[in-house]
Amino acid sequence: MRKWVIVLLVVFLPGLGQATILKKGPVTVEGYIKNETGVYPDFTKWIKIMNIVDLRGQYQPRTWLSFYGHLYKYWDFAYNQEDEYAPAHQAMYTNRETWQGISWVRELYIDFFSDYLDIRVGKQMVTWGTADIRILDEPVNPLDWREFILKPYNEIKIPLWMLKMEFQPTLNGTFQFLLIPDFEPDYLPPVGAPYCPGVVKRGTKMMEGLINFSHTGIAGVPFDYRFVFDEGRPGEKWGNSKFGVRWRDVLGNFEYSLNYMYGWQTLSPERIVTPDFSTVDTQRMMELAMRMGMTPNQLQNYLQANQIAPPGSTFYVKQKYHRIHVWGASFAKTFVSSILKGLTVKGEFAYVKDDYRCYQGRDGKFYWAETDWYNYVIALEKWIVSNWLASFQFIQKIRSKKDVDGQPFLHMSGAPMDKVETILTLRLSTDFFHERLKPAILVMYGDDNDWLISPSFYFEWGDHWTTVLGAHILEGKETGFFGEFNDSKQIYLEIKYSF
């Protein structure tokens, strides 16, 4: 993948170097500098102090050829201010992949245009579907859950290196083909981060318990386990590529699409812990038997009965990503006559086959089992009272089975998940002063009686400066999709300078 970066940079940067922050001939450059500051409502805790630099450039030397680059770099200073975020600071802001790799290159691709066929090659993002508020599983690009679902959808998507081809055999019909040799999992923030999900906290607590036991041991004899971790990512070879196809057409005021993706599960990889007893420390075993007043056989039976690995054992901790099939469809219909005039009805459906989800066994350990998903969204959208736009969504995620031997699958919060999960959303927005002031409010309700309420006030001060004042209020039980983050509600201010 790094070879792609070098090739595209060599081709793209000479054109970019001819430009300043403006549009000049075939070169267009734009970007922004932004600060996002969020504080807990009682002003006792910073939620974020995010500084962002975003730079985008396009070089189009011919009508049929275009080079595009998008650089995006950020730093959240809140992790330097809040002691409770310290455990997450190392993992999120000093690791090699994030700060010494190429993750700051958000998009970098080449476009080839023709009358019937368009080709895009490089690092990019693709969205299938029509829903405005998206919380369903994303079939193409994985998601960054660093700030839960509070950021705009395009900002939480993780771009991938891919080939996208779009063929237009009819006036409004488009066939899209995706080949994705790149792989990235969803990013779940670690323990200590404001929006670390409960399932991560529980898994980390269990692993830390095992590591601590390794140090303390029994009867003053440390067990000194060895741990070997394997991320288990699919290797970068063509056989591990994702591929997808989509047909999209517009018939009058009715738009529909049909799609299929053969990809990878990216949100909840199976974690397999395998103990290896071939490295057992026999001297420690003898010492432990003496201190506990047991014979070696009695000690061995005691350890087996209590499911305790002997001193010196090696634990291989591996993540395993499973292949999935995703069949989907979407539609959008706008009524132009009758009593429904002005109403837009949208819908999405996705069937996810061979997905694996986590559950907790009767022994307290985490296991994974195969299950299928049926997800759908029905949305209603209409302009009301002149320039007020109202959008309502009904979302359901239905699993093919409720549990495994009576043990329910786990929600991201770490709590038992219902077989049918329902979420309702309502968004109202309008504008004043020739669209310079844009107030809006988003309300999301989960069937565990938890809420997300997000009012915001966008104001454009001039050609370059904009601000957003708003809040994210999360309420409900700690076991709910929104309620688990009720300690991370925030009042926020965004200040943005665009050029």
334 class by beta-carbon count within 10 Å (0-12 exposed, 13-18 middle, 19+ buried): middle
pLDDT of residue 23: 82
User: Which of the residue ranges 20-29, 36-45, 86-95, 472-481 would you say has the lowest mean pLDDT?
Assistant: 86-95
pLDDT of residue 174: 97
What does the DSSP assignment read for 82-143? -GGGHHHHHHHHS-HHHHTSSTTEEEEEEEE--SSEEEEEEEE----S--SS--SPPSSS-B
8-state DSSP, 409: B
3-class DSSP state of 287: helix
> 324-369, pLDDT tens digit by residue?
999 999 999 999 888 888 899 999 999 999 999 999 999 888 999 9
Distance of CA 98 to the CA centre of its chain: 15
Distance CA 351, CA 332 (A): 19
Place of tokens 């170097």: 17
Mean pLDDT of the chain: 90
| 356 HSE (CA, 13 A, CB side) | 17
- φ, ψ dihedrals at 23, nearest 5°: -105, 120
pLDDT of residue 8: 37
- The amino acid at residue 28 is T
pLDDT band for position 131 (cuts 50, 70, 90): confident
Is there a contact between 255 and 130 (Cβ–Cβ < 8 Å)? yes
Global pTM reads: 0.89
Domain boundaries, the chain: 1-124, 431-499
Is there a contact between 182 and 109 (Cβ–Cβ < 8 Å)? no
Residue 61 host element (H or E): strand 46-62
Q: CA geometry: angle at 251 spanning 380 and 338, to 5°?
A: 50
Is there a contact between 370 and 399 (Cβ–Cβ < 8 Å)? no
User: Which of the residue ranges 28-37, 106-115, 163-172, 382-391 would you say has the lowest mean pLDDT?
Assistant: 382-391
> 21-64, pLDDT tens digit by residue?
678 889 999 999 999 999 999 999 999 999 999 999 999 999 99
pLDDT band for position 454 (cuts 50, 70, 90): very high
Place of tokens 């000194």: 224
For the residues 374-386, what does the mean pLDDT come to?
93
For the residues 137-159, what does the mean pLDDT come to?
89
Higher pLDDT residue, 22 or 489? 489
User: Which of the residue ranges 15-24, 285-294, 379-388 would you say has the lowest mean pLDDT?
Assistant: 15-24
pLDDT of residue 236: 83
For the residues 221-237, what does the mean pLDDT come to?
93
Higher pLDDT residue, 386 or 206? 206
